[in-house]
């Protein structure tokens, strides 16, 4: 019996397995592809499991910081051992309550999406008697990327349109409770083509330097984003960017020549690249049936377990893939009472029967917390954390309903 069979028998399925050794390898490899001195932020939205997140910050000189966008992610980051001052708080809809909470716990760095966003941050900082450091997220008018998900050069709720900065900069740099210290760009996602990734990063470095000269954008800190590619729920390997380090160094030497002396702190961010290949989803076949010439393999993991964001058309692939030799074609479907619970239609699968175990690879990012976890009331999958063959922990997210004290509880139901 291999480890997956043993763990599935012991902890049940569906079961996510995260290998912390794989997180460490991805972290170190990504740092090695960036210029010396770059900081790296782990985007907790990819996988907020505290032990997975902790593994991204346990690398000594290769320790990540945390990129968060909610009070829940802040709690996960602190639980993982990140200090509040190591967190970059992002997102276009920060509420007053969230800002008071984050600033009260010691978060000081915020990515700013608009003038109104900065005003909210400043008001919260004034209430607490502190100063918030602001990175202006810039939505460049132009972009060079041809592959991956483009994040700039179009109307968006994210970022300040670059062409409006000359008019806005005087007000942006004079809001009480804040100090603009630099810029934040997020150019693209999942860049499989190295030339596109390098071109986009070179573009934002040049743009940041231009904005510094022409509109007085402070450049104490520059986050040039991410976009590093890693397969999601299909077989494959993380992308390797052999030229990235030298190309970024050359661009920085031209446009920000003081970077080697630390005049400007430099950063990138990553989610799926750091944790994607650390995870596997184990799911067991419940039933196999034929219907009007079609074959359906029904498993105990559905869209409540994997890829609940598939409706956005951005995360879940058109079809997942499973490990092992394939000799059959069938639709892989989940157990939910909805025709939309399809993980793959007419895909290559092994010849299967009830009770057999399947493994979906590269499922360490956008798994449990990106799924329709409470849909149809099925239990959440267990999450097993390992180092190689050693079991570190096993846990399960359990939603619960909490009745507000101002409202009457339904008859016979008590708040947990």
**What is the per-residue pLDDT across 14-42, written as a single tens digit (0 to 9) for each?**
999 999 999 999 999 999 999 999 999 99
Strands 160-161 and 178-184: unpaired
Q: Is the pLDDT of residue 309 over 80?
A: no
Bond preceding residue 327 cis, omega within 30 of 0: no
Q: Which residue has the tokens 């499973």?
A: 322
More confident residue, 13 or 145: 13
Each residue of 116-136: pLDDT tens digit? 999 999 999 999 999 999 999
Which residues, including other chains, have CB under 8 Å from residue 372's CB and lie 6 or more apart?
Answer: 303, 304, 308
Q: What is the DSSP string of 285-334?
A: EEEEEEETTEEEEEES--TTTS-GGGGGTSSS-SS---SS---EEEEEE-
Q: Using alpha carbons only, give the angle 228, 349, 231 rounded to the nearest 5 degrees.
A: 0
Question: Would you say residue 415 has pLDDT above 80?
Answer: no
Domain ranges of the chain: 34-270
Find the angle CA(270)-CA(214)-CA(117) to the nearest 5 degrees.
50
- The DSSP H or E segment spanning 265 is strand 265-270
Is 280 in a helix, a strand, or coil?
Answer: strand
pTM of the model: 0.91
Q: CB atoms < 10 A from the CB of 328, how many?
A: 13
Reference 368, options 74, 48, 20, 77; nearest CA is 48
- Using DSSP's 3-state secondary structure scheme, residue 281 falls into strand
Taking only the tens place, the pLDDT of each residue in 352-364 is: 999 999 999 999 9
Q: What is the pLDDT of residue 107?
A: 98
State what percent of residues in the chain have pLDDT above 70. 90
- Rounded distance, CA 190 to CA 35, Å? 20
Model confidence band, residue 155 (pLDDT cutoffs 50, 70, 90): very low
Give pLDDT, residue 147. 44
Q: Which residues contact 401 (CB under 8 A, 6 or more apart)?
A: 415, 416
**In the predicted structure, residue 86 carries a pLDDT above the cut 50:** yes
pLDDT band at 153 (very low <50, low <70, confident <90, very high): very low
Q: Name the architecture of domain 34-270.
A: Alpha-Beta Barrel (3.20)
CA 269: distance to chain centroid?
9
Residue 164 carries which DSSP code? G
Q: What is the DSSP string of 365-410?
A: SSSGGGS-TTGGGPPPPEEEEEETTEEEEEEE--------TTSPPP
Instruction: Answer whether residue 71 shows pLDDT above 50.
Output: yes
Element (H, E) at 136: strand 132-139
Positive or negative CA dihedral for 260, 190, 156, 98? negative
Cα-Cα end-to-end distance for the chain: 40
Contact 40, 65 (CB under 8 A): yes
Q: Give the span between the Cα atoms of 24 and 405, in whole angstroms.
A: 45
Residue 53 has a CB neighbour count (10 Å cut-off) of 27
pLDDT category at 373 given cuts 50, 70, 90 is confident
Given a contact cutoff of 8 angstroms between Cβ atoms, the answer to whether 227 and 190 are in contact is: yes
Say what the pLDDT of residue 9 is. Answer: 96
Rounded to whole angstroms, the Cα distance separating 369 from 367 reads: 6
Burial class (CB in 10 A: 0-12, 13-18, 19+), 373: middle
Q: Is the confidence at residue 269, as pLDDT, over 50?
A: yes
Contacts of 86 (CB under 8 A, 6+ apart): 57, 65, 66, 77
User: Tokens in use for 246?
Assistant: 């030298």
The separation between CA 91 and the C-alpha centre of its own chain, rounded to angstroms, equals: 13
Q: Is the pLDDT of residue 380 over 80?
A: yes
């Amino acid at each position: 019996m291999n480890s997956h069979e043993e763990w599935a028998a012991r902890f049940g399925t569906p079961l996510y397995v995260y290998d912390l050794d794989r997180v460490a390898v991805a972290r170190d490899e990504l740092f090695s592809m960036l210029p010396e001195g770059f900081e790296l932020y782990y985007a907790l939205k990819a996988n907020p499991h505290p032990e997975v997140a902790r593994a991204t910050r346990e690398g000594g000189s290769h320790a990540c910081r945390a990129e968060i966008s909610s009070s829940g992610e802040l709690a996960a980051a602190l639980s993982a051992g990140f200090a509040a001052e190591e967190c970059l708080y992002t997102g276009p809809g920060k509420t007053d309550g969230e800002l008071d909470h984050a600033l009260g716990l010691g978060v000081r760095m915020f990515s700013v999406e608009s003038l109104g966003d900065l005003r909210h941050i400043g008001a919260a900082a004034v209430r607490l008697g502190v100063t918030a450091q602001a990175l202006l997220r810039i939505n460049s008018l132009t972009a060079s990327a041809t592959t991956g998900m483009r994040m700039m050069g179009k109307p968006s709720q994210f970022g300040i349109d670059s062409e409006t900065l000359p008019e806005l900069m005087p007000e942006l740099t004079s809001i009480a409770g804040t100090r603009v210290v630099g810029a934040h760009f997020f150019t693209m996602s999942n860049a499989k083509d190295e030339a596109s990734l390098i071109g986009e990063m070179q573009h934002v470095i040049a743009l940041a330097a231009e904005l510094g000269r022409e509109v007085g954008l402070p450049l104490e800190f520059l986050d040039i984003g991410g976009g590093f590619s890693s397969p999601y729920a299909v077989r494959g390997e993380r992308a390797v960017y052999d030229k990235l380090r030298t190309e970024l160094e050359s661009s920085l030497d031209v446009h920000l020549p003081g970077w080697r002396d630390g005049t400007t702190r430099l950063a990138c961010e990553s989610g799926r690249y750091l944790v994607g290949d650390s995870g596997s989803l184990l799911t067991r076949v419940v039933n196999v049936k034929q219907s009007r010439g079609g074959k359906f393999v029904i498993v105990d993991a559905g869209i409540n377990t994997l890829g609940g964001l598939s409706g956005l058309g951005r995360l879940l692939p058109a079809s997942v893939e499973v490990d092992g030799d394939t000799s059959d074609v069938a639709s892989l479907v989940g157990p939910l009472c909805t025709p939309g619970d399809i993980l793959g239609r007419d895909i290559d699968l092994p010849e299967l029967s009830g009770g057999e175990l399947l493994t979906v690879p590269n499922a360490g990012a956008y798994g449990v917390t990106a799924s329709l976890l409470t849909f149809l009331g099925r239990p959440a999958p267990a999450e097993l954390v390992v180092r190689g063959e050693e079991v570190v922990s096993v846990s399960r997210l359990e939603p619960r309903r909490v009745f507000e004290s101002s409202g009457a509880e339904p008859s016979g139901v008590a708040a947990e």
